[in-house]
Structure 1
Amino acid sequence: MLIGLVTFIALMGFTLGPRLGLSWPEKFVRDTVGFVQGIFYKPASYIAGFFEDVRDLKEVYEENERLKKAVAQYERESADYNRIKNENLYYMDLLKFTEAQMNRYDYDYRPANVLSVNQDPNNHTLVIDIGAKQGVKMNMSVISDEGMVGVISHVGNFTSTVKLLTTLDPQDANRQQIAATVSDKDTFGIIESYDKKSQMLKMTRIPQDDPVEVGDLIISSGNGGVIPRGMIIGTVDSVEVGEFGLNKTAMIDPAANFQDWKTLLVVFTPEVPQG
């Protein structure tokens, strides 16, 4: 037993002492364990990576959905902001226009929204959202911030029909002729028709010695008591000798563009009291 114990201690000292390498049994065991771990580790890592990629893909999808909603909300808010901004600018310009007109003439301007437009070239009219209940009456002038648009041709309780200047026709016995003048000259003429081809208003009965010339600003003169003075009509595009050489005819480029209206102004004058 003593000899066996001494031999065991000697073997332990030999195996535990400093060595340059592993013994072949240790190498065999290490290689075997490493091979088996490799067999199981790679598939396990692939499976774990697959589920991790699926989780990442789901997170990316959810993030994309959140971003899409945020972009859509931003576009809606941006569109609303631009619409409100443009409307504010428009109403500010309209307010400046009415203030300038009121400082010049003792008129009241009632804003009206355009409800519908009849594009029939023979009956070009539009409907606005104020009527008799708001004091609107027949033949009242209707303007935009650019110039005169037309006159009230029909009045309901809460809506009114506006007959546009583009419907002026010398063959129409019910047409509303407009006595016109130049804003800073002593001149006279009648706006009696609209030329659809040239898109110009025709001003006739201008005296031969009248100083009207190209570029002059034409406004209503107020003669006749229907159309009030100072309604901007347009600018003179050309002046020609009229029939029989006794007077002149001028073609007027309208100030209003007769399209894309949202808000117009009905002109109330002291001669036509509000109801």
Structure 2
Amino acid sequence: MRNKRLFILMIGLIVFIALMGFTLGRTRLTWPEKFINDAFGTAQGALYRPVGAVADFFRDLGRLSDVYKENEQLRQTVAQYTQDQIRFNRLEADNKRLQEELDFTERQKQLDDYRYLIAQVVGSTSNPYEKTIKINLGSNDGLKEQMAVRTVDGLVGLVSHVSTFTSTVTLITELDVDTAKGTPVSATVVGKTESFGIIEYDEVTQTLQMNKIDENDKLAEGDIVMTSGIGSIFPQGIIIGTVKDRQVGDFMTHTAIITPAAKLDHLREVFVIVVPDMDGP
């Protein structure tokens, strides 16, 4: 039995050596070897494609997860940047506006002896028949009725009601001389002190007008209209607006259409003018 095993081992070794010698000297495969290689390659390819596809699928899933996380981070970054940009633009606009108001008060100190109280606009009426705004200054701050109100650009109106901490301002478009609430605004022209007229608001045409202009008055389109100081209500020199057009009026007088200098629909801060003889308890 032992010799039989040894004999089989010897035969196997001889066959292996013979096969090695037979194949090492050849450069071409036999048809059985080719068949085996082709069959093995086909089977390997058939298995490799689905396995590779599954591997690629899971790899793509991992990449999609990474891309999603990156997109979320980018989205949050863009949202934060947008908020910061809006906040920066608002602060920049506020700073510019407040700087202009500060420069305005400094300039006015050199032109007149009025005192200017800056007030925040805290509300406005929705009544179309009486356009007013509410400011955050009242009698506690020294405000009185009939004080003129303006912005950096020009005349806004007149203080009509005063409470302890707030006041109501009637806009210039409501100062109609033909009504009980009316207060005439006498006006002249910058550089043409001989020009004179009364400022009114025409509700029909919804325009600010300068009426009762003498037909020989040299007022012309483009002139800057300001308060004349006559009547002791509105201090002299407050810009009202610019002449847009001049037309023939009633009773040998002319009428000028005025474009308001103050932006009456976008009021945020205003100045209440305290004239020296009004500055008191």
Category of TM-score, reference length = shorter chain:
0.7 to 0.9
SS of the residue corresponding to residue 91 of structure 2 reads: helix
SS of the residue corresponding to residue 187 of structure 1 reads: strand
CA distance in 1, matches of 2:193, 2:132: 33
Equivalent position of 1:258 in the other structure? 264
**Corresponding position: 1:201 with 2:206:** no
CA distance in 1, matches of 2:46, 2:107: 91
Flag the 1:12–1:155 CA change in 2: closer, same or farther, 3 A.
same
TM-score (norm 1): 0.83
Equivalent position of 2:110 in the other structure? 103
Q: Give 2:91's match in structure 1, choosing from 79, 84, 98.
A: 84
Q: Deviations over 1:17-73 (max 9, x none)?
A: 422234566555544543443343332212111111211222222222222222222
Flag the 1:251–1:21 CA change in 2: closer, same or farther, 3 A.
same
- Stretch deviating more after TM superposition (251-260 or 143-152): 251-260
Where does the alignment leave 5 or more consecutive residues of structure 1 unmatched? none
Q: Give 1:222's match in structure 2, choosing from 212, 221, 229.
A: 229
Q: Give 1:15's match in structure 2, choosing from 17, 20, 41.
A: 20
Flag the 1:139–1:25 CA change in 2: closer, same or farther, 3 A.
same
Task: Using the TM superposition, give the Cα deviation of residue 10 of structure 1 relative to its aligned residue in structure 2, in angstroms.
Answer: 8.6
Q: Deviations over 1:168-226 (max 9, x none)?
A: 2233133111232233333364525211305022333x566655444432222223322
Q: Give 2:51's match in structure 1, choosing from 44, 51, 54.
A: 44
Does the CA contact (< 8 Å) of 1:219 and 1:233 recur in 2?
yes
Flag the 1:43–1:123 CA change in 2: closer, same or farther, 3 A.
same
Given residue 108 of structure 1, which amino acid in structure 2 is its aligned partner? R
SS of the residue corresponding to residue 79 of structure 2 reads: helix
Q: Give 1:170's match in structure 2, choosing from 177, 181, 197.
A: 177
Does the CA contact (< 8 Å) of 1:177 and 1:190 recur in 2?
no
Given residue 118 of structure 1, which amino acid in structure 2 is its aligned partner? T
Flag the 1:129–1:9 CA change in 2: closer, same or farther, 3 A.
same
TM-score (norm 2): 0.81
Does the CA contact (< 8 Å) of 1:180 and 1:189 recur in 2?
yes
CA RMSD of aligned residues (A): 3.1
**Corresponding position: 1:271 with 2:246:** no
Equivalent position of 2:75 in the other structure? 68
Q: Deviations over 1:89-145 (max 9, x none)?
A: 323333333333222111222222222222433211111122222222211111122
Flag the 1:125–1:241 CA change in 2: closer, same or farther, 3 A.
closer
CA distance in 2, matches of 1:78, 1:7: 86
Task: Using the TM superposition, give the Cα deviation of residue 6 of structure 1 relative to its aligned residue in structure 2, in angstroms.
Answer: 10
CA distance in 1, matches of 2:130, 2:74: 51
Task: Using the TM superposition, give the Cα deviation of residue 166 of structure 1 relative to its aligned residue in structure 2, in angstroms.
Answer: 0.5
- Stretch deviating more after TM superposition (181-190 or 251-260): 181-190
Task: Using the TM superposition, give the Cα deviation of residue 228 of structure 1 relative to its aligned residue in structure 2, in angstroms.
Answer: 1.2
Given residue 209 of structure 2, which amino acid in structure 1 is its aligned partner? L
CA distance in 2, matches of 1:51, 1:10: 48
Q: Give 2:129's match in structure 1, choosing from 108, 122, 132.
A: 122
Q: Report how many aligned residue pairs link the two structures.
A: 270
Flag the 1:11–1:57 CA change in 2: closer, same or farther, 3 A.
closer
CA distance in 1, matches of 2:30, 2:222: 113
Does the CA contact (< 8 Å) of 2:135 and 2:168 recur in 1?
yes
Q: Give 1:143's match in structure 2, choosing from 143, 150, 175.
A: 150
Give percent identity, aligned residues only: 35
CA distance in 2, matches of 1:24, 1:235: 106
Given residue 275 of structure 2, which amino acid in structure 1 is its aligned partner? T
CA distance in 1, matches of 2:96, 2:50: 68
